[in-house]
Chain A
Amino acid sequence: MKKMDYPMIDLTDIRKRKKIMSDGAYGILLVTPALIVLFFFGLVPLFYAINLSLRHVDLTAGPAAKWQFVGLNNFRFALNSDVFFAASARTAFFAVVSVSIQMVLGISLAFLINQLRWFKGIIRALFLLPLASAPAAVGMIWRYLYDADFGVYNAALQAIGLQPLNWLGDSNVALFSIIIFDVWQWTPFVLLITLAGLQSLPKEPFEAAELDGASTFKVLRRLTFPLLSPVLILVFVLRSIDAARLYDPIATTTRGGPGAVTETITYFLYRVGLKQFRLDQASAMALIILFVIIVFAGFMLRRLMRQQSERARFN
Chain B
Amino acid sequence: MKIIFKVFLVVLLLVVLTANVSAASSEKVTVTWATLAGFYTDWAKTLAKEFTDKTGIDVRIIEMDLPTMYEKEVLDIVGNTGAYDIITWNVSWKSEWANAGYIYPLDDFIKRDAAEVQIDDIAPALLNVSGLWRGKIYGLPYYTFTPGQFYRADLFEDSEEKAAFKAEFGYELDIPKTYDQMADIAKFFRRKPGDTLMGQVLTKDFYGIGLMAGRYNHIFDEIMTIAWTMGGDVINDDGTSGVTDKPFLDAVTLYVNELLPYAPPGSLSGGYDFVIGQFNTGLIAMTGPMYLDQWPNAVKVEKNIPGSEAGIAGLPGGGKTWAGAFSLGIAKSTKNVEEAWQFLKWITGQEAQRKFAEGGGSTTRMSILNDKSFYMSRREQAGHFPVLVNVLEDSAKNWYTNYIHIPQAAKIYEEAPAWLSAAASGTMTIEAAMAGFTKAINQIIGGKATIYNEGFLKPAASNKPYVFDPSVQLRKQK
A residues neighboring B (CB under 8 Å): 59-63, 146-150, 164, 166-171, 174, 251, 253-261, 263, 271, 274-277
Contact = CB atoms under 8 A, between A and B. Distances in A.
Given A263-B418, A276-B411, A277-B74, A255 B283 contact: no
Nearest to B283: A149
20 contacts: A60-B74, A60-B78, A148-B268, A148-B269, A166-B268, A168-B269, A169-B214, A171-B427, A174-B269, A254-B269, A257-B418, A258-B215, A258-B425, A259-B418, A259-B427, A259-B428, A260-B422, A274-B75, A275-B71, A276-B415
Contacts of B268: 148, 166, 168-170, 257-258
A111 to B, nearest CB: 37
Nearest to A151: B266
Given A258-B425, A276-B444, A149 B67 contact: no
Interface in B209-240: 214-216
A148 B266 contact: yes
A166 B270 CA distance: 11
Interface of B: 67, 70-71, 74-75, 78, 80, 96, 99-102, 214-216, 264-270, 274, 277-278, 281, 283, 410-411, 414-415, 417-418, 421-422, 424-428, 444
A150 B100 contact: no
Nearest to A63: B101
Given A61-B100, A271-B415, 7 more contacts: A63-B80, A147-B270, A166-B266, A169-B214, A259-B215, A259-B425, A271-B414
A90 B71 CA distance: 25
B425 A275 contact: no
Contacts of A255: 67, 214-216, 417
Contact of A256 (B78, B411, B418): B418
A63 B425 contact: no
B418 A169 contact: no
A146 B268 CA distance: 12
A239 to B, nearest CB: 27
Query: Which of A164, A253, A254 has the most chain B CB atoms closer than 10 A to its own CB?
Result: A254
Contact of A258 (B75, B78, B427): B427
Contacts of B425: 169, 171, 257-259, 261
A255 B271 CA distance: 11
A150 B74 contact: no
Question: Chain A interface secondary structure, helix, strand, loop or mixed?
Answer: loop
Contacts of B71: 274-275, 277
A-B complex: 3 closest residue pairs judged by Cβ atoms: A257-B215, A169-B268, A259-B427
B183 to A, nearest CB: 20
B266 A169 contact: yes
Given A60-B78, A148-B264, A149-B283, A259 B444 contact: no
Give the residue among A256, A257, A271 with the most B Cβ atoms within 10 A. Answer: A257
Contacts of A274: 71, 75
Contacts of B102: 62
A149 B278 contact: yes
B414 A258 contact: no
A59 B418 CA distance: 22
A259 B269 contact: no
A257 B264 contact: no
B418 A258 contact: no
A256 B215 CA distance: 7
A14 to B, nearest CB: 24
Q: Most B CB atoms within 10 A — which of A148, A168, A169, A255?
A: A169
A169 B265 contact: yes
